[in-house]
């Protein structure tokens, strides 16, 4: 049998078509395209792809995920926050004595929101019957699918950390190991769960049989989740935040998400002439990295559930404030930036677009790969670990609390020009996501790269400790040495927990679209 190594550099071409789908997994992309071919719109395509992804890419998402979306409905831009809240029993006292929130087990699980996103988007915008959106996912769960190479690598990497969870092992490690690339994987319990969700239009998950099964499983393992917690869940339609950048406008979901980081970074960078610098040179990279560190310093300090934030997010996007932050950048040296004072002044991303002009930017995630390690017995439902996004620091705005939403990493993005849709964009991968948004926007706007070329370009990531990782082999000789000489602490890419992300992009033309898909994932763009 051959290996699944790919030792040679490859190049993808963008897809040009009137109807397009771009996802991180080919079978999911095809499910979305099939929805369009059956007369559905971009929302139907996005949902068919998203539901299928819970089956064919379980290393990044599942039925127990959270989700966010931004879409152009033909007239305006609309945002959806379908992230979950903490159970009522999650008081700070419950976690007393812990240094940090757990990342595994029921005490890492907030109420999952992605099912509510499927329902809300379908009810408000979909054309196809809700049950039709589940056909591909149910078929792959029941009849099996051949595991794709990058998903297999991620599966094998995550499995050792979760073997202690018996239901996880029984469901996702059928041969006591991760399935290999090309092997067929089955999850008939998930097929039954998806059928139940489809037939009840999500009611079973929040106010019916599935909610009861999840709550009982939690309580049997000393979890705090109750049927009342699930019944209380709601997703929220929101107005995206935005910032102008070189005539364009980038839109992001407002906090509790980290989309504001991308907006702040671009708001700082617009005070510099990036286009005059070599695209992957030391000066351009230094500016972008320092801007991102400044943005993260503020986000880690201030971003939380909007109900508990110290001030309106708009204060962090005030131009006078961002100009002051820009002046803190020293071109000669890297710095450990502190938060400013604005008051004084495994994730899957997919995008779809249809011939009518509707465009969808959608993301759902279990957070850390498979998430918490919790799989609800007999259901195939793997639960996210978004509770790990809370703080246990007394007085912190993101301190864990009943019914509260944690700081979220998953963010869909959208670019407009003169109030019209221009590009849907997402870059999955933990804290890589706002960095990926900013990198894609600067490559396209400042250096005029097409969406596929922007996705193909070499990436960097500012890690949580403000060290920096690079796809080192893809930068010109001497560039990283120059950055190190300025004081950037460069660490091995393995230190970047979520790697360098996976981008999916769709750019709108007058008579169709140009779609790009990241070679760092299994997926592709497809259209007709």
CATH code at position 265: 1.10.246.130
Task: State the chain's mean pLDDT as an integer.
Answer: 94
Task: Report if residue 427 sits inside a domain.
Answer: yes
Task: Report if residue 242 sits inside a domain.
Answer: yes
Structure confidence at residue 345 (pLDDT): 34
Residue 310 has pLDDT above 90, yes or no: no
Structure confidence at residue 429 (pLDDT): 86
DSSP state of 508: E
Same domain, 119 and 261: no
Same domain, 247 and 218: no
What is the helix (H) or strand (E) element at residue 36, kind and residue range?
helix 26-37
Task: Select from 407, 408, 390 the least CA-distant residue to 90.
Answer: 390
Parallel/antiparallel/unpaired status of strands 20-23 and 15-17: unpaired
User: Is 416 noted as a catalytic residue in this protein?
Assistant: no
Task: Report if residue 153 sits inside a domain.
Answer: yes
Same domain, 310 and 211: no
Length of the chain: 528
Same domain, 133 and 271: no
Q: Is 457 exposed, middle or buried (0-12, 13-18, 19+ CB in 10 A)?
A: middle
Lowest-confidence region among 10-14, 102-106, 161-165: 10-14
Count how many Cα atoms sit within 13 Å of the Cα of residue 114 in the half-sphere of its side chain: 32
Task: Report if residue 7 sits inside a domain.
Answer: no
Task: Report if residue 77 sits inside a domain.
Answer: no
Collapsing DSSP to helix, strand or coil, 527 comes out as strand
Same domain, 264 and 376: no
Structure confidence at residue 344 (pLDDT): 39
Same domain, 155 and 270: no
Could you write out the three-class secondary structure of 98-113?
CCCCCCCCHHHCCCCC
Task: Report if residue 141 sits inside a domain.
Answer: yes
Tell me which of 347, 351, 352, 416 is the catalytic residue.
347
pTM exceeds cut of 0.75: yes
* Cross-strand pairs, 363: 68, 349
Collapsing DSSP to helix, strand or coil, 397 comes out as coil
Domain range for 518:
238-347+410-527
Parallel/antiparallel/unpaired status of strands 77-82 and 145-146: unpaired
The average pLDDT across 108-135 equals 98
More confident of the two residues 422 and 306 = 422
Share of the chain above pLDDT 70, in %: 98
More confident of the two residues 306 and 454 = 454
Collapsing DSSP to helix, strand or coil, 325 comes out as helix
Same domain, 218 and 268: no
Extract the runs of DSSP E, i.e. beta strands, from 358-419: 359-365, 375-376, 381-382, 413-417
What is the helix (H) or strand (E) element at residue 453, kind and residue range?
helix 451-456
423 touches 516 (CB < 8 A): no
Task: Report if residue 399 sits inside a domain.
Answer: no
Same domain, 307 and 436: yes
The tokens for 63 are 């039925």
Based on the structure, what is the number of domains in the chain? 2
pLDDT tens-digit map of 4-22: 777 777 778 999 999 999 9
Same domain, 331 and 371: no
Same domain, 222 and 131: yes
pLDDT tens-digit map of 226-272: 999 999 999 999 999 999 999 999 999 999 999 999 999 999 999 99
pLDDT tens-digit map of 489-519: 999 876 555 689 999 999 999 999 999 999 9
Task: Report if residue 445 sits inside a domain.
Answer: yes
Give the Cα separation of 201 and 184 in Å (integer): 29
Compute CA 354 distance to the chain's CA centroid, rounded to the nearest angstrom.
22
Same domain, 258 and 226: no
Residue 378 has pLDDT above 60, yes or no: yes
More confident of the two residues 340 and 368 = 368
Same domain, 260 and 377: no
Give the Cα separation of 111 and 205 in Å (integer): 11
């Amino acid at each position: 049998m051959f290996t699944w190594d790919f030792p040679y550099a490859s190049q993808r071409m963008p897809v040009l078509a009137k109807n397009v789908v771009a996802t991180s997994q080919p079978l999911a992309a095809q499910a979305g395209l099939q929805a369009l071919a059956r007369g559905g719109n971009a929302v139907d395509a996005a949902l068919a792809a998203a539901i299928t992804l819970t089956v064919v890419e379980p290393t990044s998402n599942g039925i127990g995920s959270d989700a966010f979306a931004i879409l152009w409905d033909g007239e305006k831009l609309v945002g959806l926050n379908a992230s979950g809240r903490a159970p009522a029993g999650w008081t700070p006292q419950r976690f007393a004595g812990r240094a940090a929130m757990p990342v595994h087990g029921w005490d890492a699980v907030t109420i999952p929101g992605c099912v509510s996103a499927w329902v809300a988007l379908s009810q408000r915008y979909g054309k196809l019957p809700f049950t039709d959106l589940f056909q591909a996912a149910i078929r792959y769960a029941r009849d099996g699918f051949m595991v794709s190479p990058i998903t297999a690598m991620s599966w094998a990497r995550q499995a050792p950390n979760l073997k202690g969870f018996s239901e996880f092992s029984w469901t996702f490690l059928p041969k006591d190991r991760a399935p290999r690339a090309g092997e067929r994987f089955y999850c008939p319990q998930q097929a039954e769960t998806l059928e139940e969700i489809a037939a009840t239009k999500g009611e079973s998950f929040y106010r019916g049989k599935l909610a009861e099964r999840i709550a009982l499983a939690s309580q049997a393992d000393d979890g705090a989740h109750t049927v009342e917690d699930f019944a209380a869940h709601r997703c929220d339609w929101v107005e995206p935040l935005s910032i102008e950048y070189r005539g364009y406008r980038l839109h992001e979901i407002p906090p509790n998400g980290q989309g504001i980081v991308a907006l702040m970074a671009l708001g700082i960078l617009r005070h510099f002439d990036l286009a005059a610098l070599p695209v992957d040179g030391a000066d351009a990279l230094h500016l972008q990295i320092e801007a991102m560190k400044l943005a993260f310093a503020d986000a880690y300090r201030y971003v939380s559930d909007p109900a508990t934030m110290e001030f309106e997010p708009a204060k962090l996007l005030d131009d006078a404030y961002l100009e002051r932050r820009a002046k803190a950048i020293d071109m000669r040296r890297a710095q450990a930036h502190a938060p400013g004072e604005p008051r004084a002044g495994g994730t899957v991303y997919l995008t779809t677009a249809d011939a009518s002009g509707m465009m969808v930017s959608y993301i759902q995630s279990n957070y850390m790969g498979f998430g918490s390690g919790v799989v609800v017995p007999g259901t195939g439902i793997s639960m996210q670990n978004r509770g790990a996004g809370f703080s246990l620091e007394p007085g912190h705005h993101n301190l864990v609390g009943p019914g509260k939403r944690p700081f979220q990493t998953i963010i869909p993005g959208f670019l407009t020009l003169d109030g019209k849709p221009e590009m849907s964009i997402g870059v999955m991968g933990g804290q890589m996501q706002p960095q990926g948004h900013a990198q894609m926007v600067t490559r396209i706007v400042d250096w005029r790269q097409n969406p596929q070329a922007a996705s193909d370009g070499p990436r960097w990531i500012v890690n949580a400790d403000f060290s920096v990782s690079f796809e080192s082999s893809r930068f010109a000789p001497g560039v990283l040495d120059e950055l190190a000489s300025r004081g950037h602490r460069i660490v091995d890419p393995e230190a970047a927990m979520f790697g360098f992300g996976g981008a999916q992009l769709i750019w709108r033309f007058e008579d169709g679209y140009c779609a790009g898909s990241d070679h760092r994932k299994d997926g592709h763009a497809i259209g007709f």
